[in-house]
Structure 1
């Protein structure tokens, strides 16, 4: 594949139990803004076998709302509210599949305060990054859970990372 073909991550899709609660949470915790709704509860054109097949949904699942939000930097957040006969709780980081996304923050303590005031729960206080390739003064991270159960990492990397000594490739930073 040509390196000119891939430009970067466009959005992260998140299924939530209550779209309004999730919208409020992302707005209060991260300053996210609603761009548009692709589907509203009054729409009836996104249910049925074709949609189930396209999105690999459990039979009988109905998409009630889809909302695109934006953060100041980075990919969009596409929120899906669905109702179906078989739904499960979000995965743990030890389960297979996509298990979290990270939000880069300048002030991790302020970000934790916003996250918790918005209804999230942090697992720990900020921790120094665990891997020698990422160690540095004030390079911190911590994980938390949203009100509906998804896991989000807060990360701040103000110091040069040791891996930068051995490669010209760099992690994305806003």
Structure 2
């Protein structure tokens, strides 16, 4: 078995157009395609069709579904549902996936673009510590308007690995 990497992450949002706009304007993403365009009710996918495939609630339906390309990393799949889901503010104290991190070259300009698009930026940027410590190595967290926690990270200096580590951390190509 060979795992090549994360191909996409899926995010359920209250408004597909609003989430698309955030990813496009704040993070320079591009829409690849819309399997379920939100303005086309004839394209909706019923929950009973999806439930056997991935556990989607049979009583709901997908009213929007788009695939976006996010720079030199994984794709982002956005879902809009009916009834609409409530945006929940993620945090690292919750079980399950609670954030994703984007490698950036300019942490300040990316944070500013996120802020301009409605993200709440936490205190930052912050110097990395422990194995990630190094000149210029920083992180900065922001909460999107739809409740997804995004960590911006830049690691221009080498990081340290624990004894016995057989691989190095994957960093997207410039």
Unaligned runs of 5+ in 2: none
Aligned to 1:103: 102
Q: Give the 3 Å change call, closer, same or farther, for CA 135–115 of structure 1 in structure 2.
A: same
Runs (4 or more) in structure 1 with deviation over 4 Å come to 85-88
How far apart are 1:163 and its partner, in Å? 1.6
Tell me how far apart the structure 1 counterparts of residues 143 and 84 of structure 2 sit (CA, whole Å): 24
Aligned to 1:14: 11
Q: Give the 3 Å change call, closer, same or farther, for CA 23–74 of structure 1 in structure 2.
A: same
Aligned to 1:170: 168
Aligned to 1:135: 133
Aligned to 1:24: 21
CA contact (8 A) 2:13 2:85 kept: no
> What TM-score comes out, normalization by structure 1 length?
0.89
Instruction: Tell me, yes or no, if structure 1 residue 118 matches structure 2 residue 117.
Output: yes
SS at match of 2:169: coil
Tell me how far apart the structure 1 counterparts of residues 119 and 88 of structure 2 sit (CA, whole Å): 16
Tell me how far apart the structure 2 counterparts of residues 150 and 53 of structure 1 sit (CA, whole Å): 27
Instruction: Tell me, yes or no, if structure 1 residue 61 matches structure 2 residue 60.
Output: yes
CA contact (8 A) 2:13 2:87 kept: no
SS at match of 1:24: helix
CA contact (8 A) 1:37 1:67 kept: yes
Aligned residues: 170
How far apart are 1:165 and its partner, in Å? 7.6
